Amino acid sequence: MIEIKDNILTQEISELIGKYGNGREALLPILQQIQAKHGYVSEFAQQEIANALDIHPVEVYGVITFYSFLGNKKKGRHIIRLCRTISCDLAGKDAIIRTLERELGIKFGETTKDEKFSLEFINCMGMCDQGPAMMINEQVFTQLTPHKIVDILKNFR
Amino acid sequence: MPIKNKSVIFDRENLNKENPKEFLYKALKMSPSDLILEVRESGLKGRGGAGFPTGTKWMLASAAVSDKKFVVCNADEGEPGTFKDRVLLDEFSDLVFYGMIMCGYAIRANKGFVYLRGEYRYLLDKLLKYLDKMHEENLLGKNILNSGFDFDIEIRLGSGAYVCGEESALIESLEGHRGESRNRPPFPVNTGYMGHPTVVNNVETFATVPIIISRGAEWFTTVGTLNSKGTKLISVSGDCKEPGVYEVPFGISINDILKLVKAENTKAVQVGGASGHCVPKEQFDRALSFEDLSTGGSIMIFNESRDMLHILKNFMEFFVEESCGQCTPCRIGNIKLLEGVEKVEAGDCALSYIKELIELGKSMQLASKCGLGQSSPNPFISIMTNFENEIFSQR
Ligand SMILES: Cc1cc2nc3c(=O)[nH]c(=O)nc-3n(C[C@H](O)[C@H](O)[C@H](O)COP(=O)(O)O)c2cc1C
Ligand code: SF4
Ligand code: FES
């Protein structure tokens, strides 16, 4: 089973190389695609990408760990990122933190048991005039209230 | 959400009357050196925060000798409280792209990148569609508008790192590396993307150029102050009735901004984001300009009910998290400043220790490798100095 999965990943990576080339500058776009599709970049994927770009796997690991949107560990299918910077803070982010934690039964930094949701913080995401703001995956939600959170989560369950 | 007040530059109705495509025609009929001269004479300075003269930057890149050159639009917009580039990319992407093409033509580059922050990924499809349309209309690609000039634009996404807004870190990131700032000099205009001369400009800077080309440098200089020409987009958030993006002339006072956005009982205004300065009430007559209060556009308003120490703590947590960790003054210094704030919070900090930390902050401003560590002590110093009484009398 694992072997089949790995073969598919190898295939995916070679397709991405076809699209972005095998220069070093292709690394970030490739990682972003793998991250978007699988939710993380596994050790196997890191090896394969390193081979394809002819760089050391540590280089790949170094890049993944630098960027907060890339990760080497499996997380929830939906990643919720709540802005914690000051304008959203003043607009009431603390009430949103409590609501999210209670609704999902986890704390920030954790993933639900069914691996559906992960809760994280993000720094200012450019929605400061409409705070509190958060992202779920790539989607942006603004002017959050506890009631709004309940409705939004329903659509992702 | 559109720009809120009556704009001089970013007003779609006015622009449609002029037909923005004509701006590009006009630019490509000029000689590259005349185009640069026009930008220089307008006095346009970078809208990303640092305020380097745009015409001079283009001139330096144009003078650099290389077989390849690049144009990079900095759309990383990570400074807390800034969101005007998002509005520009959403509603005035034509001007942004035209500005990049003009820059390419001026310095003889054939390739441009937009470095779009990952948080704005949802704008990507719309922007790509627009680029396709420009290709169809021969505004991009080979032999643009039969001028003999080739230029293409590629959009690259960031992945959630504030420091990648710093131009050399941005270039590292474009090249597929960790976004760690480089030593400067050499500057990107000489040694940029892949070692080639590269102009990095803010979204708003590029979007302003076509207007200057269309209406002339002289028109542009009629607005603003002696050393800050034209208008500026500001992103207003915090305690006010009408937050949002506003276009204001340089030289406007904090007081006038507060009136514009309907703010009441204001205690302090943070100008320039987390890395900017906190301006107390007594100084609200100060002006927004490169001479006085310089900003990439972030204006955050705090009313009388707010705890300044809480605000400072939020800023310092931001810097501890976003420091790339490459150099010691920034990596360790920000942690020390944050610990100081936490000590004060716990009612456990001597005033003399805060004075020492302010000195540490001044050393960080001098010794840090890039703008992040050089400016991260700003809020600590300005809030601890201006609000010492409030902060210490409560604890
Ligand atoms: C930590 C840090 C973050 C920055 N972030 C941005 C940014 O998000 N957008 C931007 O245009 N400039 C940013 N800058 C400034 C850039 O380094 C550079 O000066 C700017 O893009 C030049 O464009 P301009 O001259 O048009 O302003 C940042 C600088 C530092 C030190
Ligand atoms: S000042 Fe901070 S962000 Fe800049 S290079 Fe040093 S550690 Fe990195
Ligand atoms: S402070 Fe939350 S989006 Fe800017």
For chain A, the structural domain boundaries read 2-66, 78-156
- The pLDDT value recorded for residue A86 is 98
B314 touches chain A (CB under 8 A): yes
What's the average model confidence in pLDDT over A7-29?
Answer: 95
Q: Which of B56, B57, B79, B103 best tests ligand 1's pocket when mutated (most atoms within 8 Å of CB)?
A: B79
Return the residue of B nearest to A87 by Cα.
B238
A3 or B65, greater pLDDT: B65
Instruction: Tell whether B226 is covered by a domain.
Output: no
Based on the fold, state whether residues B243 and B214 are members of the same structural domain. no
Based on the fold, state whether residues B191 and B272 are members of the same structural domain. no
For the stretch B163-188, pLDDT in tens is 999 999 999 999 999 999 999 999 99
For the stretch B83-114, pLDDT in tens is 999 999 999 999 999 999 999 999 999 999 99
- Here the tokens at position B16 are 């449609």
Report the alpha-carbon distance of residue B68 to residue B36 in Å, rounded: 19
Phi-psi region of B331 (alpha: psi -120 to 50; beta: other; left: phi over 0): alpha
Q: Which of B79, B319, B327 best tests ligand 2's pocket when mutated (most atoms within 8 Å of CB)?
A: B327
CATH of the domain at B292: 3.10.20.600
What's the average model confidence in pLDDT over B2-24?
Answer: 90
B165 touches chain A (CB under 8 A): no
Q: Model-level pTM?
A: 0.97
Instruction: Tell whether B276 is covered by a domain.
Output: yes
CA-wise closest residue to B37 among B24, B56, B65: B56
Contact B134, A141 (CB under 8 A): no
What's the average model confidence in pLDDT over B229-252?
Answer: 97
CA-angle at B21, arms to B20 and B26, nearest 5°: 100
- The pLDDT value recorded for residue B393 is 83
CA-wise closest residue to B233 among B218, B255, B252: B252
Phi-psi region of A144 (alpha: psi -120 to 50; beta: other; left: phi over 0): beta
Q: Which atom of ligand 3 is nearest to the CA of A86?
A: 1
What kind of fold does domain A78-156 have according to CATH? Glutaredoxin (3.40.30)
Can you give the residue range of the structural domain that contains B360? 308-393
Report the alpha-carbon distance of residue B236 to residue B243 in Å, rounded: 5
Backbone φ and ψ for A68, nearest 5 degrees, come out as -75, -15
* Average pLDDT of the residues of chain B: 96
For the stretch B267-318, pLDDT in tens is 999 999 999 999 999 999 999 999 999 999 999 999 999 999 999 999 999 9
B286 or B5, greater pLDDT: B286
Task: Decide which of B253, B275, B303 is a domain's last residue.
Answer: B303
pLDDT of B1 strictly over 90 = no
Chain B residues in contact with A138 (beta carbon < 8 A): 121-122
> Omega into B243 within 30° of 0, i.e. cis?
no
**Are residues B315 and A86, on separate chains, in Cβ contact within 8 Å?**
yes
Based on the fold, state whether residues B237 and B266 are members of the same structural domain. yes
Based on the fold, state whether residues B314 and B299 are members of the same structural domain. no
- The pLDDT value recorded for residue B9 is 93
B260 touches chain A (CB under 8 A): no
Phi-psi region of B194 (alpha: psi -120 to 50; beta: other; left: phi over 0): left
What's the one-letter identity of residue B186? P
Report the alpha-carbon distance of residue B22 to residue B15 in Å, rounded: 11
- The pLDDT value recorded for residue B6 is 78
A132 lines ligand 3 (CB under 6 A): no
Report the alpha-carbon distance of residue B193 to residue B5 in Å, rounded: 38
Report the alpha-carbon distance of residue A124 to residue A81 in Å, rounded: 11
Distance A130 CA to ligand 2 centre (A): 30
| Nearest residue, CB atoms, A28 vs list B173, B274, B321 | B173
Ligand nearest to the CA of residue A134, numbered in listed order: 3
Q: How many other C-beta atoms lie within 10 A of the C-beta of residue B223?
A: 17
Based on the fold, state whether residues B297 and B197 are members of the same structural domain. no
pLDDT of A113 strictly over 90 = yes
**Are residues B1 and A129, on separate chains, in Cβ contact within 8 Å?**
yes
First vs last C-alpha separation in chain B: 42
- The pLDDT value recorded for residue B338 is 98
> Taking CB atoms and an 8 Å cut-off, how many pairs form between chains A and B?
118
SS3 B189: coil
Based on the fold, state whether residues B192 and B239 are members of the same structural domain. no
Task: Decide which of B303, B328, B362 is a domain's last residue.
Answer: B303
Report the alpha-carbon distance of residue B376 to residue B341 in Å, rounded: 14
pLDDT of A1 strictly over 80 = no
- The pLDDT value recorded for residue A3 is 65
- The pLDDT value recorded for residue B7 is 85
Report the alpha-carbon distance of residue B151 to residue B289 in Å, rounded: 34
- The pLDDT value recorded for residue A157 is 87
pLDDT of A4 strictly over 80 = no
For the stretch B23-34, pLDDT in tens is 999 999 999 999
> Omega into A132 within 30° of 0, i.e. cis?
yes
Task: Decide which of B245, B273, B303 is a domain's last residue.
Answer: B303
**Residue labelled with tokens 């941005």:** B170
- The pLDDT value recorded for residue B255 is 98
- Name the domain count of chain B: 3
**Cα of A1 to nearest chain B Cα, Å:** 31
% chain B with pLDDT above 70? 100
% chain A with pLDDT above 90? 94
Chain B residues in contact with A89 (beta carbon < 8 A): 314
Backbone φ and ψ for B268, nearest 5 degrees, come out as -155, 155
